[in-house]
Structure formats: structure tokens, C-alpha cells
Amino acid sequence: MPSLKEIKGRIASVNSTLKITSAMKMVASAKLRKAQNAIGNMIPYHQRLGGILTNLIGSEGAEGVYTKGKAEIRNVALVCFSSNSSLCGGFNANVIREASKVVDEYVSKGIGVTVYSVGRKMAEAMRKKGFPSPEDYSSMSASPNYADASLLGLELSDAFLLDKFDKVEFIYNHFKSTSSQPTVRETYLPLSVEVDEGAVNRDIKYIVEPDRQTQIDMLLPKVILLKIYTVLLDSSAAEHAARTVAMQIATDNGNDLLQELTLEYNKGRQQKITSEILDLEGGALE
């Protein structure tokens, strides 16, 4: 049985840890609210822009260079999102596991794979696996912004047009709720534009200036660049949600441990006092 001094030291250590986990939870909660506002403001704009593009393509069956699939898949780019730091539960482990699974799947088929790791944890894992990122994108994970996201989007779209990559995929954690961040695997290029034939009214004749194909060619790059920024915000919100939950669980576990240690300390102290009283009574009788 540990001494009272050891138990007291452990109690002090747990209290110190609780202060850290509580502070980290508050910081993660504040960042989560900010990320939720950002993704909440972005999604309606992204959906509306995608709807305009869908109507233009669906009205007369036009298409753009970014929507044409390649006949044969020989080289694939995977853009995998993670966080720069840990202490966020299974957030990084889940997305790294999915990314490794997809890499192995393509390698087994003899398809070339290039992994763009957005986040330090993903970069470290993929480097160990033999797939180092072409550049360091950790700053994008730390502070998501449209400028950096659009640069990466331009690099990927140019590589797709030049046939350097036949397909580009995203692998990231989607912010479904504070307690749920499922891993998502999604095709980025060629861009999938699902046309709802029931929603497209063929009787309406749109007047588009200068012409429909020019408008489609102008909108497609905007939708592509906006898509990668939206995914970056989504992954960021999922990270902060996972860290908030992880710190809450750590705080709850710390409080439970503190209660057990306090009870053990009080029992030990009571035993010590009882022993001292018995010693005093024994000495008096003598």
C-alpha cells in the first residue's frame, strides 16, 4: 500500500493535469465554434454555386474539361487531411488508417500514388510508409485559409489537365456532430456533377452571355477551388470537435481518479490516527 506522502503527491499531480485538460477543452471549444461558423457560412455558398453549374450543364448536356474521366487510371493523387498535433482521440489514427488502406489498394493494382499530406501527423505517417508529401502543407491544417487552399487546388487541377494525375481523391474526417467525425473518401477530380433530370426544366430557355460553355468553363475552376477549401474547413471543425470530446473524457477520468485517491488518502489518514490513539492508550495502561 502506498504511503500517505505518495498518495498526496499523486493527488497534486492529477490536479495539475486536470487544470491542463480543462484549459485545453475550453480552447478547443472556442476554436470549434469558430470553425462551425466558418463551415456554416461556406456550405450554402458552395451549394448554390454548385447548383448553378449543375443547371448549366444539365440544361443542354454541356460539360467541362474537369468533368471528363480518363479512360485508364495510371496515376492517382491522394489529398489526406489530419491535424498537426495529437490529444484528439482517434481523429488522426482513423484517417491515417483509411489513407494507408487506399494507398495499399492502388499499389496492389500497379497504379502510381502521390500523397499530398495536409497535416503534420499524416505527413509523418506517409513518410514512414514511403510516400512523402511533395511539399509541407502543415500550415494549412493549423490555420485554414482560402489563399493556400486555392494554390493547392490550382496545382492539382493543372496536374489533372496535363495528365500527370488521372484521378484525385480526398481522404478526411467529416464534421457530422461534436461526437461523430466519420472518415470520408471522396473523388475530387474528375469533378462529379450529378444532374437531377426531374429538377431540370427543358422548356425554360436560359439566356446566357456570352455563351453557356464559356460560363461553365468559368464556373468549374471556382467550384473546384471552393471544394478544397470547404473540405479543409470541414476537417478543421472535425479536429476541434474530436479534441473537445477527448479533453472532456480526460477531465472526467481525472475527476474519477481524484475521488478514488482522495478516498484512499482519507482512509490511510484515518488508519494512521487510529494507530496513534491505540499507541497512546497502550502507553497509558503501562
115 with 80: CB under 8 angstroms? yes
- Find, among 158, 173, 143, the residue nearest to 235 by Cα: 173
Q: Which residue is associated with the grid cell 453549374?
A: 53
Q: Enter the C-alpha cell of residue 201.
A: 426544366
For the chain, the helix, strand and coil percentages under 3-state DSSP, each to the nearest 5: 65, 10, 25
Task: Report pLDDT for 232.
Answer: 93
Q: Enter the C-alpha cell of residue 72.
A: 485508364
SS3 152: helix
Task: Report pLDDT for 199.
Answer: 46
Q: Which amino acid is at 14?
A: V
> What is the separation of C-alpha 76 from the centre of its chain, rounded to a whole number of angstroms?
21
**HSE-up (13 A, CA, CB side) for residue 214:** 5
Nearest 5°: the CA angle 211, 67, 48 is 65
Would you list the DSSP string of 48-95?
Answer: HHHHHHHHHHHHHT---GGGPPPSS--EEEEEEE--SS--STTHHHHH
Per-domain boundaries in the chain = 27-244
Task: Report pLDDT for 193.
Answer: 66
Cβ-based burial of 202 (10 A; exposed 0-12, middle 13-18, buried ≥19): exposed
What's the CATH class of domain 27-244?
A: alpha beta
Q: Please report, in tens digits, the pLDDT of each residue of the chain (286 residues total).
A: 678 888 888 899 999 999 999 999 999 999 999 998 988 888 888 888 887 777 777 655 556 677 777 778 999 999 999 999 888 989 999 999 999 999 999 999 999 999 999 999 999 999 999 999 999 998 898 889 999 999 999 999 999 989 899 999 999 999 998 889 999 999 998 887 665 454 455 555 667 777 777 888 788 888 888 999 999 999 999 999 999 999 999 999 999 999 998 998 888 888 888 887 777 766 655 5
137 with 117: CB under 8 angstroms? yes
